[in-house]
Amino acid sequence: MSKCFSGNEAVAYAMKQINPDVMGAFPITPSTEIPEYFAEYVANGEVNTEYVTVESEHSSMSVCIAAQAAGARAVSATSSCGLALMYELLYVAASCRLPITLACANRALSGPININNDHSDSMGARDTGWIQIYAENNQEAYDNFIMAMPIGETLSVRLPVMTCMDGFITSHAVENIELLETDVVRKFIGEYHPEHYLLKKENPLAVGPYDISSYYMEHKVMQAEAMKSAKARIREVASDFEKISGRHYDLFEAYKMADAELALVLIGSSAGTAKAAVDMLRDNGIKAGLIKIRVFRPFPAEELALALSNTKAVAVMDKSEGFSSNGGPVFAETRSALYDLKKRPHLINIVYGLGGRDLKTEDVEKVFSRLADIAVTGEASPVYTHMGQRQRSTT
């Protein structure tokens, strides 16, 4: 079934098809439409979901934690400062091993106040213990949300999942996408059968108790092992999803990388622009390619290193600033992943697109032009730069 949907509407429709038990959500641009669309489904009796109206994003995640701990499926949606307001509870959800599913429409964090796209919100939450999956377009936003629950709910994983899409660029742009039939989605998701939950009278337990030093580290190691297990589960779910949809997904997409000598590593909707530039460069005989990271947590380090092992120069493009004075978060992860390669490509980091600043194909071509020079000269300095900003006047 083909429909013209915005990214927000596509995610809300996926929620409708799943029919979760509880939704806790508070409006914030540009994710507001997701709970709006879903509230309409609730009002029309199209789902059986308990929609809880709350006073803040902190409260919406509290609702989801309580519902999931009680044995219910819970979902939410947010952006930017809304995700930041949930910050404390993101850790609680992950440490309590509660597979909540959250849709994040990526937006720049304040300050200064900005409602446009970059990845500073979800990247700020990258170490909270949530699985993070990123979409390039509306189709992927829809598909990723459907795949999230079978990933997070697996007993060997039991972690919350954040599905991310670029605010306005993906959340509000309308595209023609292929929808699955609702009964196919319900069968794919399956019934939720938590092993332990608060309302299970046969096995009373506490959720989120005080964890003394004799036990805290053991629980954190278990959480870390669960994140490791998530990588195989993500691939398994993607394989099952391909059987019902015909659409293939993996930890990342390698675009024209088979013989690539120069490559980009990036996340989200910018991949579409970059692919167009790669195509033009290929037409001119330049061996260009790109890696679009789909799964940022768990980070596909070994797989990424293998995919980049035969390149000469690589630019990692971050749509958020790490303020480490050494580059952005995607660069830090990629550089670490490549460290053990016996023969490493030259690596640079470009921070771009902050606060919604445009990325054009000619910008990408300039990056590849610099990579070509680096491949010949071996001179990559400066390693960490910004792109697209106006230069400050010296007068």
Examine the domain organization and report whether 159 and 19 are in the same domain.
yes
Closest by CA position to 122, among listed 319, 351, 285: 319
Indicate whether this model's pTM tops 0.85: yes
Please name the residue ranges forming H helices in the chain.
7-18, 33-43, 57-69, 80-85, 87-95, 120-124, 138-152, 182-189, 213-245, 270-283, 301-308, 329-338, 361-377
Report the alpha-carbon distance of residue 58 to residue 353 in Å, rounded. 28
Examine the domain organization and report whether 350 and 223 are in the same domain.
no
Is residue 393 in some structural domain? Answer: no
How many Cα atoms within 13 Å fall on the side-chain side of residue 372?
A: 12
Examine the domain organization and report whether 51 and 161 are in the same domain.
yes
Burial letters 342-352, b for 16+ CB under 10 A, else e: eeebbbbbbbb
Q: How many degrees, rounded to 5, is the angle at CA 219 between CA 88 and CA 68?
A: 55
Examine the domain organization and report whether 238 and 275 are in the same domain.
no
Q: Which domain holds residue 380?
A: 252-387
Residue 93 sits in a domain whose CATH number is 3.40.50.970
Is residue 395 in some structural domain? Answer: no
Q: Which of residues 245, 279, 296 is at a domain's end?
A: 245
pLDDT in tens, the chain (395 residues): 899 999 999 999 999 999 999 999 999 999 999 999 999 999 999 999 999 999 999 999 999 999 999 999 999 999 999 999 999 999 999 999 999 999 999 999 998 999 999 999 999 999 999 999 999 999 999 999 999 999 999 999 999 999 999 999 999 999 999 999 999 999 999 999 999 999 998 988 888 889 999 999 999 999 999 999 999 999 999 999 999 999 999 999 999 999 999 999 999 999 999 999 999 999 999 999 999 999 999 999 999 999 999 999 999 999 999 999 999 999 999 999 999 999 999 999 999 999 999 999 999 999 999 999 999 999 999 999 999 999 876 65
Taking a C-beta distance cutoff of 8 angstroms, is the pair 144, 135 a contact? Answer: yes
Closest by CA position to 41, among listed 18, 58, 69, 63: 18
- pLDDT number for residue 394: 60
Rg over alpha carbons for the chain, rounded to the nearest Å, is: 21
Report the alpha-carbon distance of residue 61 to residue 39 in Å, rounded. 17
Examine the domain organization and report whether 95 and 223 are in the same domain.
yes
Examine the domain organization and report whether 302 and 203 are in the same domain.
no
Examine the domain organization and report whether 132 and 77 are in the same domain.
yes
Examine the domain organization and report whether 85 and 215 are in the same domain.
yes
Examine the domain organization and report whether 125 and 170 are in the same domain.
yes
Task: Show the tokens assigned to 102.
Answer: 């959250």
Q: Which of residues 245, 280, 295 is at a domain's end?
A: 245
DSSP state, residue 354: G
Examine the domain organization and report whether 380 and 348 are in the same domain.
yes
Residue whose pair of structure tokens reads 């016996």 in the numeric block: 342
Q: Which of residues 245, 273, 303 is at a domain's end?
A: 245
Report the alpha-carbon distance of residue 324 to residue 68 in Å, rounded. 36
Which strand ranges, in their side-by-side order, compose the sheet holding 252-255?
252-255, 288-293, 262-267, 313-318, 346-352, 384-387
**How many domains is the chain partitioned into structurally?**
2
Q: How many degrees, rounded to 5, is the angle at CA 74 between CA 71 and CA 76?
A: 160
Closest by CA position to 139, among listed 277, 6, 250, 274: 6
Phi and psi at residue 261, in whole multiples of 5°? -105, -30
Examine the domain organization and report whether 180 and 261 are in the same domain.
no
Residue 283 sits in a domain whose CATH number is 3.40.50.920
Q: How far is CA 155 from CA 101, 205, 226, 227, 326, in A?
A: 16, 17, 9, 12, 38
Closest by CA position to 163, among listed 224, 101, 234: 101
Is residue 105 in some structural domain? Answer: yes
Examine the domain organization and report whether 12 and 122 are in the same domain.
yes
Taking a C-beta distance cutoff of 8 angstroms, is the pair 338, 331 a contact? Answer: no
Is residue 6 in some structural domain? Answer: yes
